[in-house]
C-alpha cells in the first residue's frame, strides 16, 4: 500500500468498523477488519488513481467524517470538549467521505467489487495493490457472518448512496447507478 494511502485507508477502515461493528468475537472482528481494509484500499486507489493524486492526498488531507457521522450517528460523542475525546477523535480528520462511500458500495455488492478490483490495473497503483482481494470479491460464509452489518445493503445504503454514481461511472462496462433517495 502506498504510504499516502495508509492514513486514509486506516481512517476509512476504522470509521466503517465503528459505524457497522463486527458481530461475534475476536475472529469476527479480524475478518471484518480485513474486508473493510480491502474495500478501503481499492476505493482509495480508484479515488486517487495517479501517483500525483496520492501525493496530494498526503499533503492536503481529506475532508473528515462529519457528514458521515451525521448520517449514521457514529462518533456522536466526538468533539464534546474533553481533551481525551478530542485526541481520540483526531483520526476522523483523515476520513475521506468518497472513499468510505465507495468502500461501502464494494462491501455490499460483490460484482461491483470485482469490477473495481479489475479497474485497479488502469491506475498507477496497479492490480497488485490488494492481491486477489477474495475477502472482498468472493467472501466466504464466515466472512459474511463476521461482517453482517458491514455488508448489509440496506444498512450501508445511506453511506454507499452518497457517491455510488461516481464510482459506477468510473468503472468500465457498469451502468451508472442512481443515488437512492434519502428519507426526508
Cα 146 to chain centroid distance, Å, stands at 17
Domain presence at residue 178? no
Domain presence at residue 184? no
Asked whether the predicted pLDDT for residue 182 surpasses 60, the reply is: no
Domain presence at residue 177? no
pLDDT confidence of residue 86:
56
Asked whether the predicted pLDDT for residue 84 surpasses 60, the reply is: no
Domain presence at residue 180? no
Residue bearing cell 492490480: 127
Could you give the number of structural domains in the chain? 1
pLDDT confidence of residue 18:
94
pLDDT confidence of residue 127:
78
SS3 string, 66-78, reads HHHHHHHCCCCCC
> What stretch of H or E contains 34?
helix 26-47
Between 90 and 28, where is the model more confident?
Answer: 28
Asked whether the predicted pLDDT for residue 179 surpasses 90, the reply is: no
What does pLDDT average to over the chain? 85
Q: Which stretch of 52-56, 85-89, 158-162 has the lowest confidence by average pLDDT?
A: 85-89
Within 10 Å of residue 127's Cβ, how many Cβ atoms?
A: 16
Domain around 40:
3-170
List pLDDT tens digits, range 105-154. Answer: 999 999 999 999 999 988 988 877 777 888 999 999 999 999 999 999 99
Mark out the alpha helices in 63-140 (DSSP H runs): 66-72, 83-88, 97-108, 110-119, 134-137
Are 8 and 67 in contact, with CB atoms under 8 Å apart? no
pLDDT confidence of residue 75:
60
Asked whether the predicted pLDDT for residue 85 surpasses 80, the reply is: no
Amino acid at each position: 500500500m502506498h504510504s499516502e494511502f495508509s492514513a486514509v485507508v486506516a481512517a476509512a477502515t476504522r470509521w466503517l468498523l465503528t459505524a457497522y461493528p463486527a458481530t461475534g468475537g475476536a475472529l469476527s472482528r479480524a475478518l471484518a477488519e480485513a474486508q473493510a481494509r480491502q474495500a478501503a484500499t481499492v476505493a482509495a486507489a480508484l479515488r486517487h488513481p495517479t501517483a500525483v493524486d496520492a501525493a496530494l492526498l498526503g499533503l492536503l488531507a481529506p475532508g473528515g467524517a462529519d457528514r458521515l457521522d451525521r448520517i449514521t450517528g457514529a462518533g456522536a460523542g466526538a468533539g464534546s470538549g474533553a481533551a481525551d475525546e478530542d485526541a481520540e477523535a483526531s483520526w476522523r480528520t483523515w476520513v475521506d467521505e468518497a472513499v468510505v462511500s465507495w468502500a461501502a458500495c464494494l462491501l455490499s455488492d460483490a460484482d461491483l467489487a470485482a469490477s473495481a478490483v479489475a479497474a485497479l490495473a488502469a491506475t498507477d497503483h496497479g492490480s497488485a495493490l490488494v492481491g486477489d482481494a477474495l475477502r472482498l470479491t468472493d467472501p466466504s460464509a464466515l466472512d459474511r457472518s463476521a461482517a453482517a452489518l458491514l455488508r448489509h445493503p440496506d444498512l450501508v445504503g445511506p453511506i454507499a448512496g452518497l457517491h455510488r454514481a461516481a464510482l459506477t461511472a468510473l468503472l468500465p462496462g457498469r451502468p451508472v447507478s442512481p443515488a437512492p433517495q434519502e428519507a426526508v
